[in-house]
Amino acid sequence: MGQAVVVLKKGEGRTLKAGGMWVYDNEIASVTGSYEDGDMVVVRDFDGYPMGRGFINRHSKIRVRLMTRQVDQEIDRSFLRERLQAAWDYRKKVTDVSSCRLVFGEADFLPGLVVDKFSDVLVVQVTALGMDRMKLDIVDLLKKILLEDGITVRGVYERSDGKYRDQEGMERVKDFIGEPFDTNVPIIENGVRYIVDVKDGQKTGFFLDQKYNRLAMQRICKGKKVLDCFTHMGTFALNAGIAGAAEVTGLDISEYAVEQARENARRNGLEDTVQFRCANVLDELPKLAQSGEQYDVVILDPPAFTKSRQATKNAIKGYREINMKGLKLVKDGGYLATCSCSHFMTQELLEKTVKEAAKATHRRLRQVEFRTQAPDHPILWANSANVPESYYLKFFIFQVVDER
């Protein structure tokens, strides 16, 4: 098993030692032996202690992504089969697998790989060169694993079209893997019917991570007047509608998303109850408040205001502003659901920001529930706050009351 050896600088590899799977470019003292980008290498500490095996890429700041802690472990089809089988077995235990995240990168010990299952279609996203080399084997193995449970995969689509590929020195890819098929895929989640556009929808086509948070809102929205902000495909709004909400309004800045949401409302026979409008939420909420509108339930599911640690300060302002605007529209005794999908907006930071928004609007909050991402997006714990964890979605449900 001749391969290059990466040796860490003394005192480096903190992420790795804390349970992470990444080695950064500035942590490496030397690389001995010949290799090409994407090859497997052995990683050793400064004193020769074996840290594991992973794939290397000189184009990436994340120079090595670890596949195993065992330096003698061969990374072959049987290794991949074992990891993929474990990922599928876990999902079968913890979630509804009709549509689910089948592989969640580092949290499934398969760095740089995301696979979503929408009914009988798989959507693959590859963010690392070494994993890209194994892509066809992975797809073939997943088809075989699913077939053993009676699931025939109708088609596979690759959505490796984000800017993260540029940072890895890789071309962006958006194409079929294998035979073409209809990329508008019908799914049912929480009793709601959707068409998922796996070719042109956001990311892989649908946000599966909020599945059970949407379900949690159903009981709260029954018989209520609901405002769903940043509605995207109308997911929270439609869960409210299917649960028997009296009246639901969904807002989103994207005309394409609003059209999809309207089509999904028609698909569920909810077009009379659930209405969608194309609007900039930050501009629209003050207008609604000015016109005297009040809601029993306001749902805030904004995009990530920050994707880096440096931008967190501005993001806090954004989250504070949107929560203040949302709180002003909730009736006394009504409910606010608010969340953040940014890894850098920690639970503590979000709590602090929402508290500040409540104080500024003279509202009191009673926490009903705190939730995170669905279990098919497992949170892999690490021993340090510096490890890029898989924990990113924070979701609060509050009852909102006037100060008494």
Instruction: Kindly list the catalytic residues.
Output: 341
**Phi, psi angle pair for 250, to nearest 5°:** -115, 135
CA distances from residue 86 to 82, 107, 325, 374 in whole angstroms, order as listed:
6, 12, 44, 18
> CA angle at residue 327 from 321 to 330, to 5 degrees?
155
Tokens of 30: 């030397």
Q: 348, 404 in Cβ contact below 8 A?
A: no
Separation of alpha carbons 395 and 372, rounded Å: 6
